[in-house]
Structure 1
Amino acid sequence: MSSDFPYAMKRHGRLVRWEVDRGFGFIRSPEVPADVFVHLRDFVDRQLKPEVGMELGFDEIHVGGKGPRAMAVHAVGAAQPRARRPSMSPQVRRTPAGPGRRHEPATPSSSSSMLPIGVLLLGYAGLLGYGLWTARLPPIALGVLLLVSLLTFAVYGFDKSAAQAGRWRTAESTLHLLSLAGGWPGAWCAQRLFRHKSRKASFMAVYWATVLLNIAAVAAWVGKLLPASLLAG
């Protein structure tokens, strides 16, 4: 392992923080002045479930002028299986979820979602068109919704890049707020293009809830179903 990084140093420390949903955390070692970043994919044993307080051994490296990073991470006292180091390139990196993710484009869930999203998009477009035709929706609203969708698409792209590089991630609540604000079409496009978040059932359940809430809010606005005090405000 150390041969891949000639300046790696063998260290020991304790896991002081672990983000379960994001798959990364930090190790505190008396041999290193700063907390050491560690990603789930850097563990030698992929079946190991990291927990705060766990004693770990690792190789300390520094990449691109960033802070220290842990590689070849293993639990102290546990047998260290001989495992090949995954490539640093995002194109060939294996994911912790297992080899099934390599066939992601062929999964039925991706194709089966095309029909409902197509119906929703057509209905949404018709709703916006009706709002413009009846002058219940100002034309600038379409521009705002388009900008929000583009912003949401870009944020998904940055979050996917951060996930691959092991950097700080965008909070899922932020992604959901953008969808709720009208950026859900851009979010859907980003999920398919970047293959990001679309396989996480809990995330997608909240995403679809934001889609329905946004459409319901637009329908209420266009149909003048909201109280007059809210429309005036």
Structure 2
Amino acid sequence: MRIEGTLSKWNDDRGFGFITPAQGGQEIFVHISTFPKDGVRPTLGEKLTFEIETDKNGKKRAKNLFCPERPTAKRPPTAPSVPSRRPASYHRTERPGFFARVIPLLVVVGLVAYGYSEYTRRAAPLTASSAKPEIQTPPQTYTCDGRTHCSQMTSCAEAKFFLRNCPNVQMDGNNDGVPCEQQWCTSPFAK
């Protein structure tokens, strides 16, 4: 006997839900495998008709499920198969001959070799001419002239010279080797 009902609960992750019969009564278990294989996922509130079966544990479940509101998928009629008119000696899997496989490979290798030789011929003069001479700054000459504090310096380089070479300087309060950190040598790239 077919019963009408509505899909009232559905767990899409686990593939099951419950149908509330239209006449009332307890909800009926339904599994995804009983739905038509039409590619449409079950939706809450969907009208269904089904039959009831009892499983081996004595629980009721839906079977022979039909979804009257879903459109029925009509497949186009298939054309009758036409016999092949190819000769019996024709084989689709014929492989090309040895030369038909080797010649394209030789062409590719030749193009790569030519391209590499042109690249190295053109790149060699560029590397020789593109080498830029290093810009050398004349070394600044500082002398230990009795200055000992950061406020007396004019640059980070001068403060570093005094810290390395002059006695009794008071420019490295935390003894990390970087002088005048709050005034001149504030960035790690300061010179």
| TM-score, length basis structure 2 | 0.35
| TM-score, length basis structure 1 | 0.29
- More contact order relative to length (CA 8 Å, sep ≥ 6): 1
Structure number with higher helix proportion: 1
The higher radius of gyration belongs to 2
